[in-house]
Structure 1
Amino acid sequence: MSKSYQKNQKRQPQPTPEDIQPIQIDETILTGPNNKSKGNQQEHLMVSMANVLEQMESLGLLDPEQLMQEFGDVDQEEFEAKIQKILGNREIYVDEANLSRYLKYLKKNIQKPCYLTGTEEFLWEEDYLFGEGSQSKYEKLKKTQPSYTDVFTLVKFSETLSEIDGLLVEVQRVSDQKTFVLPLADLEVTDENSPNYQLIEDYLMWFLNCM
């Protein structure tokens, strides 16, 4: 998801607390039906997530039209076929085995130098940007912590795999050469004309939609 969409969403007027109704989430998302196949679990999860998205849209927390503009007209079947080819596997859900396959694919195809920046503010920055965190402290912390506004060069992919964070990458900040290990899903390529850009965008769409 591009940075521009996520920033625009944060600028939208937000509903007041009294207007917000609890979003109903099917508990089987967490527990899973005991006697269902993995395929049926995925189908059940997709239906439940669709209900959550509908509720978010009704509360003004999601703009599907703008989201589609950001991603473009993606042909779902074509995209799934593309991911199946990348993974060499008909099952494209995110798990350790598929993360390992995607890691090998990216290591083989990413061209260096590869310059990256944050897709949105990192978790540690949220209180300083949208909460009551001190701006002076924020500027001080940015000297030792990675910021979404920084530009990084990709150093290497980590061999550590996480079904929660996905693939991890070691990056070096261009401004001061400090190194960090960050989830690849939190990053995007700075140059949209680079062949690396689509590689990372495809990974991001797969990770967010199939986890």
Structure 2
Amino acid sequence: MRRVGNTPIAAVTAAALCTGAWLLHNGTAGHAPPQPSAAEASADPGAERSAAPALPPSPPDRIRIPSIRVNAPLMGLSLTPAGSLDVPPAGRRNLAGWYEAGTTPGERGTAIVAGHVDNADGPAVFFALGALKKGAAIEVDRRDGSTAVFTVDAVEVYRARDFPDDKVYGAAPRPELRVITCGGGYSRSTGYQGNVVVFAHLTGSRR
């Protein structure tokens, strides 16, 4: 089991998130989503010192990642009976979700956001997540009227069997954010073989 806060999670990115429906319908040539390079996989020195003070808890409404043209509403995600995180409806391409029983983005701890990389009609909200670079900004609008601003520390890709649970979902002493979608190798029989994970921490806020 993986644990976010005090809640165990069997798998944040359930199989429904990673089927690769568009690739199944259209083939793989020229359609695979970008994958992070090795240069984006390690955090920059000094990132720990640049953290902003934590914000009070407040549910998020929207996520924006300007450098890859993401601007999407957020829905709350709960756990399935199997203990995995549910996923946004596949038919809504520009929709992401956040784990609403865990940390809210901007408060101290590890907040989780997940979204599809594609659906049967084409690229979805996080299709370009693997192209994100260290130092990029992620903005999360919250219901209290504030916007939490995060800076990307690293972008990594993991095979499903090598997924580092503690690194991705473990508790954090500062406000951190993980943004997760599918990635890695692709098989027409099983879909994507792993996950792209963005690691970011809070560096500011505004109203």
The TM-score, its normalising length taken from structure 1, stands at 0.23
Q: Where is the helix percentage greater, Structure 1 or Structure 2? A: 1
Larger Rg belongs to: 1
Q: Where is the strand percentage greater, Structure 1 or Structure 2? A: 2
The TM-score, its normalising length taken from structure 2, stands at 0.23
